[in-house]
Amino acid sequence: MNGNDWRDLCAEYQYFGWGEIMKKNDIVTVTIEDFGVNGEGIGKTDGYTLFIKDAVIGDVVEAKVMKAKKNYGYGRLMKIIQPSKHRVTPRCFAARRCGGCQIQAVSYEKQLEYKNQKVRNNLKRIGGIPEELLEAVMEEPCGMEEPYRYRNKAQFPIGRDKSGKLAAGFYAGRTHQIIPCEDCILGVEVNQKILAVILGFMERHHIESYDEVWHKGLVRHVLIRYGFATDEIMVCLVINGRKLPHAGELTEKLAQIPGMASISLSVNTEKTNVIMGQEIIPLWGQRYIIDYIGKIRYQISPLSFYQVNPVQTRKLYETALEYAGLCGEETVWDVYCGIGTISLFLAQKAGRVYGVEVVPQAIEDAERNAEINGISNAQFFTGKAEEVLPEYYENYAASHPGQQAGADVIVVDPPRKGCEESVLETMVQMRPGRIVYVSCDSATLARDVKYLRERGYELVRVRAVDMFPQTCHVECVVLMSRVEK
Ligand code: SAH
C-alpha cells in the first residue's frame, strides 16, 4: 500500500473481505430497497448501506455520500436515474425543502403499506411477536380517502424572505430564512386568505416581523385553527410584546372572513423556539372555537391540545371504543387522557370513566368538555400516571380491606416514550379484562406489549390509523386481552 492513499486502503480492506469503505463526497448509484423510520430511502451498494432522504423504494438513484461510517452512511439524492413505480409528483412545490412531509413523493397506497409494515416490524423485532400471531392480529390500516388538507391547525412563522419581503412559510433547514409558502396543502385553504390579510396589514403599518437572531421585531407566528365540523375559525398572532398597533383595523378585516369566530394575541417575549406564549389577550369574538368529534362537542382555546386530523381522530377513537367492547356498566381508565377526548368517547358507553393527565390546563378542558356534553360519569385526576395510578391502587387497598382496585378496561395513550414500567405494573395488578393501547410510536408500543404479554395479556388486534398522511408518522391501536382468568 502506498502511503496514505485512501483508495488503496479500501482496496486492502476489500482484499481481506472487510467490505467496501465509502468516503465523503463519493458519487454512487444505488437501488432503493426499503424505507427507513423517517421515511428516507435505504439502499445498498456493494454491501454498504446508505440512507438517502427523498429517495423512494424502487428508485435507482445517483447519490453523493455526505457522511460515511464504517458500515453505513448518509447520502444526498442527486439524480433519479430510474423512478420507482411508487413515485408520484408531490403536490406541494416545497415538499423537499420544507421537510414537514417526508414522503409526499410516495403514492398514498404505498405510504399506508410502509406505515403498516413499520408497526409490524417493531412488534416482531422489539415485541418478539411471532409471525403467525402477527398474521392473525394485524388488521387493514385505516387510511384517508383524501390525504391532503386534513390539518385543523397551522402555525406559520412570519419573517422576511431572501429578497427582504415579508412572508409566511417555513424555515429553510437549519437557518432562520423564511421560504414563503402560504398554502401548505395539509392545511385548509382559508389559511392563505388569512395570511394575506395579516401580511398586507403589516406592510401597510410597517409592523416588523420577529427576528430570532436579534430578538427584535413584533410578529412571530400566526396560529390558525379550523373546526371541521362547525367551520369556525380561530386566529391567534404570537407577538414579541403585549400590544399590536392598529389591532382594530386587522380584526375588522379578518372578521369579514366567513366563519371567523375568535381573534387573539399570544404574548411570547422569550428568546425561545417554543411557539406559543402562555398569556392570551382576546381581541375579537369568543375566546375559543367549537368543534365536534362524533357527537362530542369540544371548546378549543389557542393553548388547548387538540388532535390535528379530526377525520382520522374520529376513526382512531371509534377503533379504541370498538376494541374496548363496552356494554354500559364497565369501569374504565383512560390514562394520558389529554383534554379527555377518549374518556368522553368511552363515557358514552361505560359505567364510569377515570382520566389521568399531567397537564393541569388539559384537565380543566376535560372537565369543561364533560360538562358541556352533559357527561357526569367521568372523573379526572391531575398528575403523572406513574404516580397517580399506583397511589390510587395502594390507597384503595388501604381503605377497602381485603379488596383491590380493579378495572374492566384500561385505555392508555402515552407520549412517544411509551408507558413507565410502574404504570404497566399497576395496570397488571388491576387485572382489567382488556387493555387498549393507543400509540404514536410503535417502537415503545412494542416494548410495552412485550412486558404485558409476559404478565398474562395476549395481543388480539392491531390497527394502524394514518393520522398524518404524507409524513412518516403512524398511530396505531392495539387490543390486549387477559389470558389468565
Ligand atoms: N388521549 C389524548 C392525548 C394523548 S397525547 C388525545 O387523544 O387527545 C399524550 C398525553 O399524555 C398528553 O396530553 C400529555 O400531556 C400526557 N402526559 C405526558 N406524560 C404524562 C405522564 N407522565 N402522566 C400523565 N400524562 C402524561
Distance between Cα 420 and ligand 1 center (Å):
12
356 Cβ closer than 6 Å to some ligand 1 atom = yes
342 Cβ closer than 6 Å to some ligand 1 atom = yes
Distance between Cα 53 and ligand 1 center (Å):
31
Distances (CA, A) of 94 to 169, 256, 323, 467, 474: 10, 30, 39, 21, 22
Cell of residue 34, nine digits: 426499503
> Given ligand 1 and candidates 321, 357, 364, which is best to mutate, with the most ligand atoms within 8 Å of its CB?
357
Assess contact for 313 and 292: CB atoms under 8 A. no
CB atoms within 10 A of CB 58: 17
Residue 8's pLDDT is 45
307 Cβ closer than 6 Å to some ligand 1 atom = yes
Residue 1's pLDDT is 37
Residue nearest to atom 18 of ligand 1 (CA): 415
Distance between Cα 468 and ligand 1 center (Å):
18
Element (H, E) at 404: none
Point out the ligand 1 atom lying closest to the alpha carbon of residue 385. Answer: 23
Residues 85 and 218: their CA atoms lie apart, in Å, by: 47
Residue nearest to atom 21 of ligand 1 (CA): 384
Distance between Cα 38 and ligand 1 center (Å):
23
Point out the ligand 1 atom lying closest to the alpha carbon of residue 414. Answer: 9
360 Cβ closer than 6 Å to some ligand 1 atom = no
Tens of pLDDT along the chain (485 residues) come to 344 444 444 444 444 444 457 889 999 999 999 998 888 999 998 888 999 999 999 999 999 999 998 889 999 999 999 999 999 999 998 888 888 889 999 999 999 999 999 999 999 999 999 999 999 999 999 999 999 999 999 999 999 988 989 999 988 766 777 889 888 999 999 999 999 999 999 999 999 999 988 999 999 999 999 999 999 999 999 999 999 999 999 999 999 999 999 999 999 999 998 999 999 999 999 999 999 999 999 999 999 889 999 999 999 999 999 999 999 999 999 999 999 999 999 999 999 999 999 999 899 999 999 999 999 999 999 999 999 999 999 999 999 988 889 999 999 999 999 999 999 999 999 999 999 999 999 999 999 999 999 999 999 999 999 999 999 999 999 999 999 76
Catalytic annotation, pick one of 101, 181, 440, 472: 440
Point out the ligand 1 atom lying closest to the alpha carbon of residue 338. Answer: 13
Residue 420's pLDDT is 97
E runs forming strands in 336-433: 352-357, 378-382, 409-412
Spatial CB neighbours of 244, under 8 Å, sequence gap ≥ 6: 207, 218, 219, 237, 250, 265, 283
Distance between Cα 357 and ligand 1 center (Å):
6
358 Cβ closer than 6 Å to some ligand 1 atom = yes
Q: How far is CA 261 from the centre of its chain?
A: 26
> Given ligand 1 and candidates 335, 336, 392, which is best to mutate, with the most ligand atoms within 8 Å of its CB?
336
Place of cell 410516495: 106
Residue 179's pLDDT is 85
Q: What is the pTM of this model?
A: 0.89
Residue 118's pLDDT is 94
Residue 235's pLDDT is 98
338 Cβ closer than 6 Å to some ligand 1 atom = yes
Asked about 101 being catalytic, the answer comes back as no
Residue 485's pLDDT is 64
Q: What is the dihedral of CA 452, 453, 456, 460, to 10 degrees?
A: 100
Return the ∠ at Cα 387 (arms to 382 and 390), rounded to 5°.
115
Distance between Cα 417 and ligand 1 center (Å):
11
Torsions phi, psi for 479 (to 5 deg)? -110, 130
Point out the ligand 1 atom lying closest to the alpha carbon of residue 307. Answer: 8
Taking phi over 0 as left and psi of -120 to 50 as alpha, with beta for the rest, 336 belongs to left
Point out the ligand 1 atom lying closest to the alpha carbon of residue 420. Answer: 22
Residue nearest to atom 3 of ligand 1 (CA): 338
